[in-house]
Amino acid sequence: MAQHTLRRRSDERGAAVFVVVLAVTLLTAIGVFALRNASLVEQAAGYDRQASQTLYLSEYAARAVAAEVGSGAARTYIDKVATGTDTCYANDLLVGTDLDPNVSYLPCYKLFYTDVEQRVDKHFSNQKVLDAHDGVTAGSLGPKLPAGVDSTEGVFVVEMTDPAESTPTPGSAVGGNNPANTFRDVQVTFTAFAQIRQMDPNPGDPWCSNASLSTSASVTSLRSHVTLRNVPR
């Protein structure tokens, strides 16, 4: 009788150990899942923030180039667009000779982030298009970064294509869409590409970084039609 009781208690202890191990395993799995879920939520929030920043940067790029072109240099930029031979993504699939046998290329001119920054510095000394964002200072892309977090940067390129004389606004200085007029209204298509990426300390190109950084970059494009008023012929 005593041996039977001891054997039953031994079996009960084995069952108790099994239940405890099972409970610990389940709690561990729930904890790992919770940690993984929190990590994914934080990562998704970071990607969403980066995407929003890139969208705003593309709008900022288009506005910055529009301000530059409209600062009294419209004629210069229109000529650059008309005679430029840059290759633009906006019309890369088009062939000039298909539209006009006498045109071997399509009008295009690019303004990069570095170009705009040089012009800003020329007019407003020591001013930046985007303030630095790193582990030392807060910047345009957010607060000061904690130790061990890579710095980020924003770059953009704006393609100017499709220059065309447009119908002038009634009552403007143009006074009618007539080649004899001294001034004209010109419509230009802006295609802005913006990119948020990890800081590239040695960029070899004003737009592209090395492959390891480009894989985590966020890219957004925006297109707008800008009408330049009273452009000298």
pLDDT at 218 over 90: no
Least confident of 8-17, 65-74, 154-163, 214-223: 8-17
- pLDDT 10s digits, 9-45: 555 566 677 777 788 888 888 888 787 777 777 777 7
Break the chain into its structural domains and give their ranges: 2-232
Nearest C-alpha neighbor of 191 from the set 57, 50, 58, 51: 58
**What's the pLDDT score for residue 175?**
52
- pLDDT 10s digits, 115-146: 888 888 888 888 888 887 777 788 888 888 77
Q: Percentage of the chain surpassing pLDDT 90? A: 11
**What's the pLDDT score for residue 194?**
92
User: Which string of DSSP letters, residue by residue, matches 115-146?
Assistant: HHHHHHHHHSTT--SS---SSSS-BTTBSPPP
pLDDT at 59 over 90: yes
pLDDT at 8 over 70: no
How far is it, in rounded angstroms, from Cα 224 to Cα 221? 10
Q: Quick check: helix, strand or coil at residue 112?
A: strand
Q: What is the pTM of this model?
A: 0.74
